[in-house]
Amino acid sequence: MPGEPQDDCLFCKIVEGHVPATIVRETETTVAFRDINPQAPTHVLVIPRAHYPNAAALAAAEPALAADLLLATQEIADEDKLESYRIVFNTGAGAGQTVFHVHAHILGGRGMQWPPG
């Protein structure tokens, strides 16, 4: 069922405290932690506590939670004193999504190229 924790989901396990992570921010609805394979000096993942497979599914089911997720990215960028940064949502394996629990990547602290990938 959408929103319910999934036993086989790495990020659900992080939310539940069963898998360690370097947590940088927690709210009632979100958890943010450092990426274990950073692609920039700042590389933080922001996830909802509820399980949704991707950003579109989250926005369709819980727009307020999607907004909370985006607000958390801004707060983290402010805390890390990022003047510019990129927020990335990968959707589907072909786009590079490897954990199918919606998550925003905050990337900053270096110049970014366009187009990405």
CA distance 92 to 5: 19
> Which position among 51, 101, 103, 105 bears the catalytic label?
103
- Closest to 108 (Cα-Cα) out of 79, 85, 91: 85
Q: Decide if 83 contacts 33 (C-beta within 8 A).
A: no
Q: Catalytic site residue 43?
A: no
Q: DSSP of 31-50, one letter per residue?
A: EEEE-SS-SSSEEEEEEESS
Residue 15 identity (one-letter amino acid): V
46, 52, 55, 60: CA torsion to nearest 10: -130
Q: Which residues have a catalytic role annotated? A: 103
